[in-house]
C-alpha cells in the first residue's frame, strides 16, 4: 500500500467483515468502506482490489445510481447541449422503448457486457421489450436497428466513463449482431419512372394530401422538411420556399406539439424554387386551410404549418409515410418508401441532364460528391450521353 494510505479489515458486531480504505490522502484524507463480507479473506481480497484500482487510477466511488437515473437525469440533459435535436430525440426514444424497460433498474456500476448481449438477443427475437405495448412487443427488431441501439449505449456509457462513474465501458465487452448480417433484408433505394409519378399524382388529385405529395415529387424535399414547412417561409409570388427547420416527431399530448430540429446539414438550410403547377396547388391548399381555420374557430391549433390536419395539428411523420405506401398500392404503381420520392426526383433530374451541382443544391447535400455517390447508378447513362453529345459536336462536319 502506498506510503500514507491506510486500509484495514475489521469484523462487525453481527459477525460479518468489512474494509476501510483511504481513497484520498494528504491534508484532506477521505475514506471509503464496504460491509457485508462473510469472511475475513473475502474482505481482504476486496480491499486489495480497491487498492490496486486506486494505484492505477481506475477507482470509482461506489454508487447506487441506476442506468435509468443516469440516462434521464444526467446524460440526456447533457446530450441536448451537444447534439442535434433530431439525434437526441432518436437516442432518447430508442433508450425509452428498447433499453430502459429491461435494464433501467440495473445499477450503472453493475452493468456488464453479458447483460447487453442478452438485451440484443431479446430485441432481435421480440422487438419492444416493453410488453405494455401489446402486439408491438412481439416483432423482432432488425439487425440494423439492434446495432444502432448498441451504438447509442456505447455513447451513453462512454460518457459515464469520462464522468468517473464507471471505470470501463460495458458496451466494449458486449457482442452485438454481426455487421455482415446488416445487409440482409435491407430495403434498397428505389425510384419511380416519370410515368409512375404522374399516375400516382393523378390518383391523388383532389385529395387533401395532394399538395404534399406534389411538393415532395417536384422538389425532392425530405419528409421532415416538407412537414415542418411554415407559410412564413413560402413565397408563392416568386415561386420559392425556404427550408429552415424540420419536423422530426409529434409529442403525444392533447395539443400534438411538434418536435423541431435544424436541417440535417448546414447546406440543408436553403432556398428552393418551385414550378407553376406546384405554386397553383399550394394556393388552392392555402385557401382550403383558411376555410378550415375559420370553421374550427378557437379550437384551431396554429403552428403556421403548410401541411397540417384540419384543426392545425401537425401530421405524425410515420403516419404520413404509411399513408403514402397505402395510396401507392391503391394507385397501382410500385410501392416505395416516401423517402424514395426524393430519390425519384434526383434520378429524373440527373437523367434529364440537370447539372449535379444544381441537384446538390436543391437536395441540400453538403457536397456534390455526396450527390454523385448516392446516385452513382445514374452516372453510367450520363457518361454515355456525354460521350455521344461531344462526339456529335466534333464529327458533325464529317456527315
Model pLDDT for residues 161-171, shown as the tens digit of each residue: 988 888 889 99
Q: Three-state SS for 214?
A: helix
CA 41 to chain centroid, in Å, comes to: 50
Contacts of the segment 288-293: beta carbons below 8 A, 24+ positions apart: 288/208
Map residue 286 onto helix, strand or coil: helix
Confidence of residue 254 (pLDDT cuts 50, 70, 90): low
Pairwise CA distance, residues 305 & 289, whole Å: 10
Give me the residue spans of the domains in the chain.
Answer: 7-55, 67-181, 194-336
Strand partners, 230: 305
Superfamily of domain 194-336: Intergrase catalytic core (1.10.443.10)
Task: Please determine, for residue 137, whether its predicted confidence score (pLDDT) is greater than 70.
Answer: no
The pTM of the full predicted model, rounded to 2 decimals, is 0.69
Per-residue pLDDT, 313: 93
Residues whose CB is less than 8 angstroms from the CB of residue 66 and which lie 6 or more positions away in sequence, other chains included: 104, 105, 106, 107, 108
> How far is it, in rounded angstroms, from Cα 176 to Cα 123?
11
- Tell me the CATH number for domain 67-181: 1.10.150.130
Please report the pLDDT score of residue 201 as a whole number: 97
Contact of 312 with 303, CB cutoff 8 Å: yes
Tell me how far CA of residue 59 lies from CA of 45, 240, 313, 316, in angstroms. 15, 59, 52, 47
Return the percent helix, strand and coil in the chain, to nearest 5.
55, 10, 35
Q: Please report where in the chains the cell 443516469 appears, as a residue.
A: 70
Q: Is the pLDDT confidence value at 182 over 80?
A: no
Question: CA of 45: how far to CAs of 32, 158, 288, in Å?
Answer: 15, 28, 76
Domain 67-181 shares a fold with domain 194-336:
no
- Between 261 and 117, whose confidence is greater? 117
Q: Taking residues 297-311, what's their average pLDDT?
A: 94
Work out the average pLDDT over 263-281: 92
Amino acid at each position: 500500500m502506498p506510503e500514507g494510505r491506510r486500509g484495514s479489515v475489521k469484523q462487525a458486531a453481527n459477525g460479518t467483515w468489512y474494509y476501510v480504505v483511504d481513497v484520498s490522502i494528504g491534508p484532506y484524507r477521505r475514506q471509503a468502506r464496504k460491509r457485508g463480507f462473510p469472511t475475513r479473506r473475502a474482505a481482504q481480497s476486496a480491499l486489495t482490489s480497491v487498492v490496486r484500482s486506486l494505484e492505477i487510477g481506475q477507482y470509482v466511488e461506489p454508487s447506487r445510481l441506476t442506468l435509468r437515473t443516469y440516462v434521464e437525469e444526467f446524460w440526456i440533459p447533457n446530450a441536448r447541449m451537444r447534439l442535434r435535436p433530431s439525434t437526441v430525440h432518436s437516442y432518447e426514444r430508442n433508450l425509452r422503448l428498447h433499453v430502459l424497460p429491461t435494464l433501467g433498474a440495473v445499477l450503472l456500476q453493475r452493468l456488464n457486457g453479458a447483460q447487453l448481449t442478452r438485451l440484443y438477443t431479446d430485441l432481435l427475437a421480440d422487438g419492444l421489450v416493453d410488453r405494455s405495448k401489446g402486439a408491438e412487443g412481439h416483432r423482432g427488431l432488425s439487425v440494423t436497428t439492434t446495432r444502432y441501439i448498441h451504438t447509442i449505449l456505447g455513447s451513453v456509457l462512454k460518457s459515464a466513463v469520462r464522468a468517473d462513474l464507471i471505470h470501463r465501458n460495458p458496451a466494449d465487452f458486449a457482442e452485438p449482431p454481426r455487421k455482415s448480417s446488416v445487409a440482409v433484408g435491407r430495403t434498397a433505394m428505389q425510384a419511380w419512372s416519370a410515368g409512375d409519378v404522374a399516375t400516382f399524382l393523378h390518383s391523388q388529385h383532389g385529395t387533401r394530401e395532394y399538395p404534399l405529395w406534389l411538393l415532395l415529387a417536384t422538389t425532392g424535399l425530405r419528409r421532415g422538411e416538407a412537414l415542418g414547412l411554415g407559410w412564413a417561409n413560402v413565397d408563392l409570388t416568386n415561386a420559392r420556399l425556404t427550408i429552415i427547420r424540420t419536423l422530426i416527431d409529434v409529442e403525444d399530448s392533447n395539443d400534438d406539439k411538434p418536435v423541431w430540429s435544424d436541417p440535417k446539414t448546414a447546406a440543408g438550410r436553403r432556398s428552393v424554387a418551385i414550378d407553376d403547377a406546384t405554386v397553383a396547388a399550394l394556393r388552392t391548399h392555402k385557401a382550403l386551410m383558411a376555410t378550415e381555420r375559420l370553421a374550427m374557430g378557437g379550437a384551431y391549433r396554429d403552428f403556421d404549418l403548410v401541411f397540417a390536419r384540419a384543426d392545425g395539428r401537425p401530421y405524425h411523420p410515420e403516419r404520413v409515410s404509411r399513408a403514402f405506401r397505402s395510396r401507392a398500392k391503391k394507385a397501382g404503381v410500385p410501392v416505395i418508401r416516401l423517402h424514395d420520392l426524393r430519390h425519384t426526383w434526383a434520378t429524373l433530374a440527373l437523367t434529364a441532364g440537370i447539372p449535379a451541382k444544381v441537384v446538390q443544391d436543391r437536395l441540400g447535400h453538403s457536397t456534390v460528391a455526396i450527390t454523385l455517390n448516392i446516385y452513382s447508378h445514374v452516372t453510367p447513362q450520363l457518361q454515355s450521353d456525354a460521350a455521344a453529345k461531344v462526339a456529335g459536336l466534333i464529327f458533325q462536319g464529317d456527315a
